[in-house]
Amino acid sequence: MPLTQTRRRFLTTAVAAAAGLVGTARALPAEGALETTSVTLAKTPALCTAPQFIAEELLRAEGFTEIRYVETIAPEIPSAVGAGKVDFSMAYASQFVAAIDAGEPVTLLGGIMVGCFELFGGDKVRSIGDLKGKTVGVQAIGSQPHTLVTLMAAQVGLDPKTDIRFIIDPKLKPIELFAAGKIDAFLGFPPEPQELRARKIGHVLVNTALDRPWSQYFCCLMAGNRKFVRNNPVASKRVLRAILKTTDLCAADPASAARQLVDRGFAQRYDYALQTLNDNPYDKWREYDPEDTLRFYALRMREAGFIKSSPQKMIADGTDWRFLDELKRELKA
């Protein structure tokens, strides 16, 4: 008789696969008891942050009994972590750089993945250099897309303040403006690039998962609320371990991870979720150095006038790599 695939059986199988990929899911006895069994993570529209969305079963295996996801829009993730509205979340490196510079009490714990953003151009734009005199849609000045396009433009010698016209429309999203041909370029994150490709709109100028120098650094880092991390070191390590194990699952079995995203309500379309997981490297967390990523973005953001702090100060004020170093030894491939 054929075996019926239930949601519970599917999730159990997927979690078992993740544990098999990276070792036992249980915490090591030497770590001591959890200081708290409750943890809160951010829920955002960004499919690329899949590891934190599908980590619930592994978090339970680590001893957490109360796991909550709080709706959080992408620009507010660092402040939500700093304010303790969520205990942990992934976000783009430059977002956390700006937050640490502004004094937000966040602590970076490790790098998760590479990629996320893709810069799309219209018929009149074939390279970043072609953005001179053109329009780029962003949600707001100072937003993540505005920051990253500014850094990309400066990388090729443009002056973003004078060479590019950043367009903000309170009534339409940048992707809608681009699809309607009202702007020349648009920087999107999953599922937006997947949607544009499906609709055959525009072409990719920069893919941060593939194109240097962006592909040589993490896009998304994991951060925790500073007070939570300081007061709950055992819990913090176990959260990071669960996230890293689901990162391995995303790399090794993207189909299962994509199905979990849909089943858990974090994604509406399985095809977009699967394409996102296939397009973005989730197998670099052992290889890349998150401190290099922080230094890379801090230097460029300082040169562009977005922040004032030096990379050394930001590393001292906003990072704690102890858990990552331990887990790299513990979760050997």
Residue-range domain boundaries for the chain = 7-114+217-330, 118-207
| pLDDT computed for residue 30 by the predictor | 58
pLDDT means over runs of 10, the chain (333 residues): 39 46 45 92 86 93 96 90 96 94 96 90 91 91 89 92 90 88 89 88 92 93 97 97 95 92 88 88 92 96 93 95 94 74
Specify the CATH number of the domain 118-207: 3.40.190.10
| pLDDT computed for residue 45 by the predictor | 80
120: left (phi over 0), alpha (psi -120 to 50) or beta: beta
| pLDDT computed for residue 171 by the predictor | 80
| pLDDT computed for residue 166 by the predictor | 93
| pLDDT computed for residue 170 by the predictor | 79
Same fold, 7-114+217-330 and 118-207: yes
| pLDDT computed for residue 73 by the predictor | 87
| pLDDT computed for residue 12 by the predictor | 41
Specify the CATH number of the domain 7-114+217-330: 3.40.190.10
DSSP assignment of 228-282 equals HHHH-HHHHHHHHHHHHHHHHHHHH-HHHHHHHHHHTTS-S-HHHHHHHHHHS--
* C-alpha angle 228-234-239 in degrees, rounded to nearest 5: 75
| pLDDT computed for residue 8 by the predictor | 40
